[in-house]
A and B are shown apart, each in its own frame.
Chain A
Amino acid sequence: MMSDKLVQGNPENGKWRIVCYLNQFFGQIGGEDKADTGFLVKEGPIGPAMFLQSFFAGEGEVVATVICGDNYMADNLGEAVEEGFKLIADLKPSIFFSGPGFNSGRYGVACGAIAAAVQERLGIPAITGLYPENPGTDMYRKRAYVVKTGINAGTMRTALATMAGIGKRLLKNEPIGSAEKEGYFARGFLKNETVEKTAAVRGIEMLFDKVTGKPFKTELSIPQFEDIPPAPPVNDIKKATIALVSDGGVVPKGNPDKIKVSQNTVWASYNLDELFANPYQIAHSGYHPTEVRENLNRLLPMDVLKELEAEKEFGRLFPVFYSCSGNTTTVQSCKAIGEGIAKKLVEENVTAALLVST
């Protein structure tokens, strides 16, 4: 689960403990010929870490620079990150910086992976810097602060200044502005801010520009939806086991699995007979649930399904029902919920699912 809050470390002797991560090149071990070098921990700041130190004048100290070769990291990323993470954790940092990795593919991924591990597992701020097209950017921007850099080390000083600026404020629990304003890649959060003109005025200006052939820039972009091929038809409906799946948000009274009424991210399964026999509630704020409250068959057509089952129109009704709430849920969450339910259905040898919505 992503979080917007980081644990605040404590300064030691009035100074924050800074740990930096660099590859063999920036760590002054050597070039491509030294890319297989394993982890080294050097006391104090090396190379770019010295620049970084200068931004913390008196407030923080780079206690160590952790260095590793690009190939060593890339060849077995998972294990290498684990190895590096332990070294970094032992150094008890208040804050962690990796790179910046600019547009170097192996280095960028390593910077992101190790920053994500440190931030998620130590709960301290972890910051790196990458070029937009570096594959590490999209892989890790939601898991650590990834500052936007130029394509190569020519932009080192600016990149480090931005990284240090964000880092200092995170340490002091001071607010960090929007991705665009601060120069990092969006971490997957939206917040409301106000601008000078109302949406109506901006909208008419944009339409006017579009109609008169002037340049304009959309404020929201259309999503890239995946094409999902439909499942093949059921071979023999007379033998099919059919399960009920619904995003209508029906849950047993008390909502034991805490399905959210909007922006939901979880799913749960309930025995159908028990669900129908006991008090239930609707965890969904996108429709008026009066009808479903009065008669659950309106959402989950158990009555008709039982009749059809008795008449042998299909094999059997699967006794477990899969529930979630589909109200202003992101595609990402829908996909995760769908994958979870589908996996379970396959495990249970369910032939087909009836997706009943609102």
Chain B
Amino acid sequence: MKLRMESVKIVDVQFGAKTSISDGVLYINRQELTETVAGDENFASVGIEIVKPGESTRVINVVDVVEPRCKISGGVDFPGVLGGFIAAGRGTTRALKGMAVALCDRHRHWIHSKGIIDMAGPGAELGRYGKMPCVVVDPIPAGDVDDHAYAYSVRRAGFKAAVYLARAAGEDQVDESVVYDMETVYPDLPKLGYYYQIYSPQHDPKGIPDPIFYGYPISVTLPLVVNANEIIDGAVLSGYTIRMMETYSIQNHPIVTELLSRHGKDLNFAGVVMGVCSLEPVRRALAAMMIGNLFHDTLKADGVIMTKPLGGAPNVDLGVAASECEKLGVKTTLLIQALNTQASLDSEVLFNDPALNAIINCGIIFETAQLPELDKIIGGTGETAVFNDSCKQTAGHPIVVEKRFICGCLNQLGASPAVAVEY
């Protein structure tokens, strides 16, 4: 697979008469964008707002963040969600860089699945998206709609907005163009692969998983080989919740893009195996065996870097898979998050195979941050609950939130420079 990724740098976003880009400013026809995303039976209406760094604004109920992207050739926009099953990762894709689309879900009641974006103050410092202009898509539910149907509608609205905005960029506005070539192999260079555990079904209400692979739920899928280009070109999407793996960070997947950019220079990117966390031991053993075999025998990797979603169960699962790789001589490095604040750097890993001696510290997900009251709330009201342990705080006041809920502060794919440090 070969993918041309075109970048258009955006420095500001404003409403305007015609959706277009001029000198790095994205002008949006609000009415047209609203109409593009509003045609859904689950929505009574859709609010569209622009928020910018420095504004005293808090965006709440955030369930995903997406980079504006559209397919120029060789594929369809968000296959499986907006388009049919034409593989992502081929042809040309155009992206608006330096801005994002933030998606709000006012309907689902499970507040500890929803994130916040502060555009000013310490929350903006900590997060990734408070530092860039964001277009907020904020639908209002049409009565008592089904949770899953509504979540699906919200996500479609976000991807539609992302495509609509990216289409504003013409070919002559492309600032940079990179070709990701996974067809050429470099047999003399160290062969490094990536194991991408994309999901864990432990939080699925009623056992219904989120549709995150080509718009399809894959919580029971055994490990499979996917092309690196597919991942960054829309095949893999975030779940219905901010779980430190928002779609924006998958589109800009820090491991995949780093391995792609070093492919042919000092390493050979051997490929990606994708899998989901097993919640019971028999399936875990089978999946781990397959992961080891796929890297050793199919991709012929010398080493594999591995990431996980969520917390404890995937931590165990990833460790078992890594042990199987090491047994076959495939070296491993694992990205693990610390969970506890009263802990040490040798208490936060849930496996104890001495071969797993290369573990990256991705910060503590339960550390809290105190955030001040901000003037404006988007995505809900000042009385909307924001998750903390007491479940009694509301968005319009000073709040204390775990850092995992500050969008883009921590990232399980490795996009954050946060580390847990002993005190």
Cβ contact of A328, chosen from B267, B312, B352, B410, cutoff 8 A: B312
Interface membership of B417, Cβ < 8 A = yes
Cβ contact of A225, chosen from B190, B352, B356, cutoff 8 A: B352
Q: How far is the CA of A203 from the CA of B190 in the complex (A)?
A: 15
Interface membership of A301, Cβ < 8 A = no
Q: How far is the CA of A290 from the CA of B110 in the complex (A)?
A: 10
Cβ contact of A290, chosen from B205, B254, B303, B336, cutoff 8 A: B205
Given contacts A204-B305, A288-B204, A260 and B389 within 8 Å (CB-CB): yes
Interface membership of B304, Cβ < 8 A = yes
Task: For the complex formed, measure the closest distance between the CB of B25 and the CB atoms of chain A, giving whole angstroms.
Answer: 29
Interface membership of A207, Cβ < 8 A = yes
Given contacts A190-B420, A192-B403, A221-B345, A203 and B367 within 8 Å (CB-CB): no
Interface membership of B145, Cβ < 8 A = no
Query: Are B419 and A193 closer than 8 Å at their CB atoms?
Result: yes
Q: How far is the CA of A321 from the CA of B175 in the complex (A)?
A: 64
Residues of B within 8 A of A193 (CB): 418-419, 421
Interface membership of A277, Cβ < 8 A = no
Query: Are A192 and B367 closer than 8 Å at their CB atoms?
Result: yes
Residues of B within 8 A of A198 (CB): 254, 414-417
What is the 8 Å Cβ interface bit string for chain A, positions 172-215, against chain B (1 contact, 0 not)?
00001011100000111111111111111111101110111000
Given contacts A221-B349, A288-B204, A330-B343, A207 and B419 within 8 Å (CB-CB): no
Which residues of B in the span 379-423 have a Cβ within 8 Å of any Cβ on A?
Answer: 389, 403, 410-411, 413-423
Q: How far is the CA of A197 from the CA of B418 in the complex (A)?
A: 9
**Count class of interface residues, chain A:** 35 or more
Residues of A within 8 A of B346 (CB): 220-224
Q: How far is the CA of A204 from the CA of B414 in the complex (A)?
A: 10
Q: How far is the CA of A319 from the CA of B356 in the complex (A)?
A: 44
Interface membership of B30, Cβ < 8 A = no
Query: Are A190 and B303 closer than 8 Å at their CB atoms?
Result: no
Query: Are A263 and B342 closer than 8 Å at their CB atoms?
Result: yes
Interface membership of B353, Cβ < 8 A = yes
Query: Are A200 and B356 closer than 8 Å at their CB atoms?
Result: no
Query: Are A190 and B343 closer than 8 Å at their CB atoms?
Result: yes
Interface residues of A: mostly helix, strand, loop or mixed? Answer: loop
Q: How far is the CA of A306 from the CA of B413 in the complex (A)?
A: 47
Task: For the complex formed, measure the closest distance between the CB of B264 and the CB atoms of chain A, giving whole angstroms.
Answer: 14
Task: For the complex formed, measure the closest distance between the CB of A102 and the CB atoms of chain B, giving whole angstroms.
Answer: 22
Given contacts A207-B331, A212-B190, A222-B349, A190 and B421 within 8 Å (CB-CB): yes
What is the 8 Å Cβ interface bit string for chain B, positions 344-358, against chain A (1 contact, 0 not)?
111111011110111
Given contacts A200-B413, A286-B202, A223 and B190 within 8 Å (CB-CB): no
Given contacts A190-B422, A198-B417, A332 and B347 within 8 Å (CB-CB): yes
What are the nearest 7 A-B pairs in CB distance? A200-B414, A200-B254, A186-B422, A219-B361, A328-B339, A199-B414, A211-B303
17 intermolecular pairs with C-beta atoms under 8 Å apart? A2-B342, A188-B343, A188-B344, A189-B342, A190-B421, A190-B423, A191-B367, A192-B364, A194-B416, A198-B415, A199-B360, A208-B267, A221-B346, A221-B359, A222-B352, A224-B352, A286-B312
Residue numbers of A with Cβ under 8 A of B are: 2, 4, 176, 178-180, 186-204, 206-208, 210-212, 216, 218-225, 260-263, 285-288, 290-291, 327-332
Residue numbers of B with Cβ under 8 A of A are: 110, 112, 190, 192, 202-206, 254-255, 258-259, 262, 266-267, 302-305, 311-313, 331-333, 335-336, 338-349, 351-354, 356-364, 366-367, 389, 403, 410-411, 413-423
